[in-house]
Chains A and B, each alone.
Chain A
Amino acid sequence: MTSLPETTERALGLVIDLDTCVGCHACVVNCKEWNTGGYGAPLADMDPYGAEPEGAWLNRIHTFEVSPEDAPASIVHFPKSCLHCADAPCVTVCPTGASYKRSEDGIVLVDESMCIGCGLCAWSCPYGAREMDPVENVMKKCTLCVDRIYNDNIPEEDRVPACVRTCPSGARHFGDFSDPQSNVSQLVAERGGFDLMPEMGTAPVNKYLPPRPKAKPECATTTTPASVQAEVGGFLGWLDRALEKLGKD
């Protein structure tokens, strides 16, 4: 079994805003293209042009329909990748030490050279955030683009995870949760950011921001325009007076 670091110097992770995510899959595909040519084995696709195409992905979007009793049904798009938990069961369950959490920044990684593909970590992850590569038989997971965020070969402003850089609706934010002043900590504080399935005791680093309440069709009228038709002369009477006023302005 593998140990978790007692503390990490930083706690890097993502804030995902469910209020602005339109479910476009930009993050999903950009993640795939960055990572298939990057960290570790490629993210393989089986039967890519066949009857049952299926590949390894590090980030997927799940779409749910919500039907409240007092409002019309709505759709929530829910992007999900590794949450880089402080108490990551996928690390402690690993028999070889391949699955580990970095003490520098809290990123949970798989050292593929040590991975035997037993899949225990994926079983232990309550979020289903790990996927076995179908060709190399090693465990794949979000690396928080560890090969981007410290990479001297790319411009400083681009040293963020690929999903964050590409997100068109600004629904993904990257930062250090150990710093209360960081952008991500502030967002969580301001918007009521929450843990996914806190009852699992994994202490996820990634946080989600809730969708804002939606207006209901029959909600109270805040503004009822007064009818000018009721005024003297009806609409045309109003028009004459309004034009006269306009002429004097």
Chain B
Amino acid sequence: MGGDGHNLELSPHVSDEIRKTTCYMCACRCGINVHLRKGEDGQPKIRYIEGNRDHPINRGVLCAKGSAGIMQHYSPARLKKPLLRVGERGKGAFREIEWEEALALASEWLGEVRQRDPKKLAFFTGRDQSQSLTGWWAQQYGTPNFAAHGGFCSVNMAAGGIYTFGGAFWEFGAPDWDRTELFMIFGVAEDHDSNPIKMGLAKLKDRGVKIIGVNPVRTGYNAIADEWVGITPGTDGLFILALVHELLKAGSIDLDYLLRYTNAPWLVVQNEGAEDHGLFARNEAGEPLVFDRQQEVCVSSKGKAVKPALNGQVTLPDGRKARPAFELLAQKYLSDEYAPEAVSERTGVSPSQIRRLAGEIAQAAFEREVVIDQPWTDMKGERHEKMVGRPVSFHAMRGISAHSNGFQTCRALHLLQILLGSIDSPGGFRFKPPYPRPIDGQPKPHGGCKPGEPLAGPHLGFLRGPEELLLEDDGITPQRIDKAFSWDAPMSSHGLMHMVISNACAGDPYPVDVLFMYMANMSWNSSMNSGGVMKMLQEKDDNGDYRIPKIIYSDAYNSEMVAFADLVLPDTTYLERHDCISILDRPISEPEALADSLRWPVVDPATQGEGRDVRGFQSVLLDLGGRLGLPGMVKPDGSAIYKDYADYMVNHQRRPGVGPLAGWRGKDGEQQGRGEPNPEQINRYIENGGFFQAHVPAEAQYFKHANRAWSDWAIEMGLQDGPVENVFQLYLEPLRKFQLAAEGHGKRLPPESHRARIKATFDPLPIWYPPFEGQQLDENEFPYHAITQRPAAMYHSWGSQNAWLRQIHGANPLYVPGAICDEAGLVDGDWAFVTSHHGRIKVPVRRMEAVNEKTLWTWNAIGKRSGAWNLDDDAPEAKKGFLLNHLIHELLPPKADGLRWSNSDPITGQAAWFDLRVRIEKADPQDHPVSLPQFEPQEDGLEQPAHQLTYGREWGEGT
């Protein structure tokens, strides 16, 4: 009884039990406390989900998506049983089958292909967080055709960073939130480090640290930034290089840092026209040379107590001429080409703002240096009494990387960080274990394909030059269906998932027999040209057979892609499954601790709805591996080694003593990083809240790229097996090797058609060039940019089925700058046609001023195909929502020679989503106000959802 005469229970029962696991409402991987309480049917039901206070990622907080997990878990779009297609592809007509039939069919299809020609299986996973399993499975199967979604997500960011300094943002590293004095954030994908960034921004606000947002759209983080740089899409690289120009001009660079940790002093051969022009001068042992400015002699860069020169022509012992990489760098960026005045019009940023920002960066880095009283010893054995840092930090994600100039732009940003001396120095960017991991610590890509045999190594990796491309004997034909690691996209470290379906349909370089996908909505928001991809999946040959003969797809929900599958394997929800966020992949570490985590079935799917007969995809994959007799998955007697994914998580060893999970290893569970499998490991994780962490020793906290204590600890923890040299590659020699091939040098030469492009874009020093789509179009015909932003409250198409989140983002208008509205006669509520070189869509319009003046934008992946996700055919997502994808082609506009290039970065193959150019015109108000294109509603065999929802009714406390 409360006061005032009202009956009020102040201390009601909350839950019967709390189970701690890892969120999967986006890719951020927060720790959650799932409160369970008995429901009306007597089974445990989710009462409440909150952030886990002990968890290294989210420290107790939880975003809108995470808090809406209840609605995801109980979504009426959940699949219940394996499905076999009965109608035409795309319709959504299936019959339910038993798991035994489904698995027998899948293993028959897969087994036949494996014995005949394993590359005829294309296995691509989408937002999969189990790539160390799925990749290994594909390797053991023997198809060269595996990748996850990195190619259409942010491979430019990952590859640009790894090639340059052995890390990148998000899973690889983070700003030093507690010490930085200036923070600049470029175009972000909201699910990439979602909560840590918000928590970090709060810390900066608390300390009064300036936040600068560089983004064409001033929403989200940019809305609270102290300064907004409303940049024109695709010009971030130019803006960054103008900052570099200003910093160089002012001498505001950390020369000591450059000499110690980078290849700035390495000598670059100057031999115009020859096969070694632009390569590093090396000694007989292959070690790069530097010129000792005191002894005036060329010596190995690996030597101790060297005083390398940064400028001046040097005559090498063999008579060739060379110059330090830094001199080439300084010449390039000091040129007027990068002066603020020269870049202002293209970038939309005024010269005075660029100059002032460069000044603020210099001031924070060099006048507010951070000193930590912590001695440490570098890899050359020199002891340093203190850790001295340059407290300027950056974060960037898809906004700068999803362009055809994204790789070089990401490199430009890292160049800026390195010139300032702010990589893994106090107040700058900090590596997250197991990073740093430079290319010397990374695998090479592996291809090849022999019937019935596994691949020699992992599919994805980092190649060092043309000799490592995955090509057929002709030196031109790609080995892979997505043409990764071919001349089209040589350094495509994450593959090109967005090209798989169109290449397979075209039989270029060859057709496939089975397309096997997981959690990838390729017939909708995960593809460019969604309508075209739907047709490709339905296309038949002259015999009336589908061009892609068999499609196996696994998803937990009735997504748009389900309708195009022949066999559907229903996955569990994230609260019903085992998973590991593995140390073998990209774990959940924060800079001060190595951390990994797991998911476990906090509820049993059999209790979570009538007739639910679903299985975690990873367990199904291991089951199939057993049936197919894949090496490493079967015992000598042919029986399966792993009962399920949980069994694999505990008992699989990638190298002796090193498995998917780093915590509580060894028979008694006392070991970390390395140790025998521990049968109790999963229970120990669960007892600890679902995660494990090991703190990085104080001496190893910074300068990890050159820190002896870090190297020793990383070896001890099983992150690496020996010291790995990590010299930051300001000048990236592998790029130069491709340029040389394009100039006609070496054994492997690109086809004539590719040479000019490779020469122009594979500059070993970061450059900027205009995005390809815009280059090939008449700017007057397509004067505007069109991009998407990811809303904080929605994760791709997953959120649309969520009864709560769809009330926040149920439809997406196109936000149009005021001046463009005035010119086109548009007011709020109007509909407009938006046209690209490829398509035309009709969309609702909303006026906005806080946006770059040439940029139209909308929320990502809100639009739905009618009938998908068990939504009403007339759901706003389908009738008012829309996708920009229909305007984006997977190929660039045809060139004069008739050739069409992939709409991707020429270096990594990353999908260039944000290169889109459009025009806009008002639609006739008489037109029926429905977004276009519309598609035939997707059918499903699911129950009609309820017309009202009163979640938690059974627990309501009286008032």
Listed stretches A120-128, A195-203, A209-217; interface member: A209-217
* Cα A168 to Cα B30 with chains together (Å): 12
Q: Which A residue's beta carbon lies closest to that of B364?
A: A223
Complex partner residue of A217 from B4, B218, B353, B952, CB under 8 angstroms: B353
Q: Are A227 and B201 in contact (CB under 8 A)?
A: no
B655 at the interface (CB under 8 A from A): no
A153 at the interface (CB under 8 A from B): yes
- Residue numbers in B under 8 Å from A223 (CB-CB): 356, 359-360, 362-363
Q: Mark A6-45, 1 if CB is under 8 A from B, else 0.
A: 0000000000010111111110111011101111111111
Q: Mark B797-833, 1 if CB is under 8 A from A, else 0.
A: 0000101111110100000000000000000000000
Complex partner residue of A26 from B67, B224, B849, B870, CB under 8 angstroms: B67
Q: Are A153 and B12 in contact (CB under 8 A)?
A: yes
B499 at the interface (CB under 8 A from A): no
* Cα A54 to Cα B948 with chains together (Å): 10
- Residue numbers in B under 8 Å from A235 (CB-CB): 248-249, 251, 330, 334
Q: Are A243 and B48 in contact (CB under 8 A)?
A: no
Complex partner residue of A150 from B10, B66, B67, B948, CB under 8 angstroms: B10
Q: Are B359 and A225 in contact (CB under 8 A)?
A: yes
A246 at the interface (CB under 8 A from B): yes
Complex partner residue of A225 from B68, B249, B956, B959, CB under 8 angstroms: B249
- Residue numbers in B under 8 Å from A225 (CB-CB): 246-247, 249-252, 358-359, 362
Which of A's residues lie within 8 Å of B, judged by CB? 5, 17, 19-26, 28-30, 32-34, 36-55, 57, 65, 67, 72-77, 100, 102-104, 109-113, 134-135, 146-147, 150-154, 157-158, 162, 165-171, 211-212, 214-215, 217-219, 221-229, 235-236, 238-240, 242-243, 246-247, 249
CB distance from B58 to the nearest CB of A (A): 7
Q: Which A residue's beta carbon lies closest to that of B227?
A: A215
Complex partner residue of A49 from B13, B355, B801, B952, CB under 8 angstroms: B801
B490 at the interface (CB under 8 A from A): no
Interface residues of B in 241-259 (CB under 8 A from A): 246-252, 255-256, 259
* Cα A32 to Cα B808 with chains together (Å): 12
Complex partner residue of B8 from A17, A76, A146, A221, CB under 8 angstroms: A146
CB distance from B181 to the nearest CB of A (A): 13
B14 at the interface (CB under 8 A from A): yes
Q: Are B224 and A25 in contact (CB under 8 A)?
A: no
B223 at the interface (CB under 8 A from A): yes
Q: Mark B328-369, 1 if CB is under 8 A from A, else 0.
A: 001000100000000000000110110110111011000000
Complex partner residue of B355 from A38, A42, A147, A224, CB under 8 angstroms: A224
Complex partner residue of A22 from B228, B792, B874, CB under 8 angstroms: B792
B939 at the interface (CB under 8 A from A): no
Besides A39-B957, A43-B951, 11 new A-B residue pairs in contact (Cβ under 8 A), listed by A number: A24-B220, A29-B68, A30-B50, A30-B67, A48-B949, A113-B7, A146-B8, A165-B50, A166-B63, A170-B199, A222-B360
* Cα A76 to Cα B871 with chains together (Å): 32
B62 at the interface (CB under 8 A from A): yes
Q: Which A residue's beta carbon lies closest to that of B358?
A: A225
Q: Are A67 and B849 CB-contacts (below 8 A) given A211-B224, A214-B228?
A: yes
B840 at the interface (CB under 8 A from A): no
* Cα A189 to Cα B351 with chains together (Å): 39
* Cα A26 to Cα B311 with chains together (Å): 53
CB distance from A69 to the nearest CB of B (A): 12
- Residue numbers in A under 8 Å from B936 (CB-CB): none
Q: Are A103 and B804 in contact (CB under 8 A)?
A: no
Show 14 A/B contacts (Cβ-Cβ < 8 Å), sorted by A: A20-B224, A36-B952, A37-B955, A38-B952, A48-B803, A49-B875, A52-B876, A147-B9, A147-B11, A165-B51, A214-B226, A217-B227, A242-B255, A246-B256
**6 A-B pairs with least C-beta separation:** A37-B952, A225-B250, A73-B849, A170-B202, A168-B198, A223-B359
- Residue numbers in B under 8 Å from A154 (CB-CB): 14
Central interface residue in A57, A72, A166, by most chain B CB within 10 Å:
A166
Q: Mark B39-68, 1 if CB is under 8 A from A, else 0.
A: 000000001111101000010111111111
B230 at the interface (CB under 8 A from A): yes
CB distance from A56 to the nearest CB of B (A): 10
CB distance from A215 to the nearest CB of B (A): 4
Q: Which A residue's beta carbon lies closest to that of B65?
A: A29
Q: Are A151 and B12 in contact (CB under 8 A)?
A: yes
B947 at the interface (CB under 8 A from A): yes
CB distance from B174 to the nearest CB of A (A): 15
Complex partner residue of B850 from A52, A54, A72, A169, CB under 8 angstroms: A72
* Cα A211 to Cα B228 with chains together (Å): 14
B543 at the interface (CB under 8 A from A): no
- Residue numbers in A under 8 Å from B250 (CB-CB): 225-228
B848 at the interface (CB under 8 A from A): yes
Interface residues of B in 357-402 (CB under 8 A from A): 358-360, 362-363
* Cα A249 to Cα B260 with chains together (Å): 14
* Cα A224 to Cα B68 with chains together (Å): 49
Q: Are A26 and B957 CB-contacts (below 8 A) given A151-B12, A170-B206?
A: no
* Cα A5 to Cα B222 with chains together (Å): 43
Q: Are A228 and B50 CB-contacts (below 8 A) given A19-B205, A74-B223?
A: no
Q: Are B198 and A103 in contact (CB under 8 A)?
A: no
* Cα A147 to Cα B48 with chains together (Å): 14
B729 at the interface (CB under 8 A from A): no
Q: Are B198 and A46 in contact (CB under 8 A)?
A: no
- Residue numbers in B under 8 Å from A57 (CB-CB): 807
B928 at the interface (CB under 8 A from A): no
CB distance from B443 to the nearest CB of A (A): 35
CB distance from B297 to the nearest CB of A (A): 16
* Cα A87 to Cα B543 with chains together (Å): 79
Q: Are B64 and A29 in contact (CB under 8 A)?
A: yes
Q: Are B64 and A109 in contact (CB under 8 A)?
A: no
Interface residues of B in 183-240 (CB under 8 A from A): 194-195, 198-199, 201-202, 205-206, 210, 218-230
- Residue numbers in A under 8 Å from B294 (CB-CB): 247
Interface residues of B in 380-429 (CB under 8 A from A): none
B106 at the interface (CB under 8 A from A): no
- Residue numbers in A under 8 Å from B50 (CB-CB): 30, 158, 162, 165-166
* Cα A19 to Cα B65 with chains together (Å): 22
- Residue numbers in A under 8 Å from B225 (CB-CB): 214
CB distance from B247 to the nearest CB of A (A): 7
Q: Are A103 and B201 CB-contacts (below 8 A) given A51-B872, A74-B218?
A: no
Q: Are A50 and B947 CB-contacts (below 8 A) given A33-B68, A75-B223, A225-B249?
A: yes
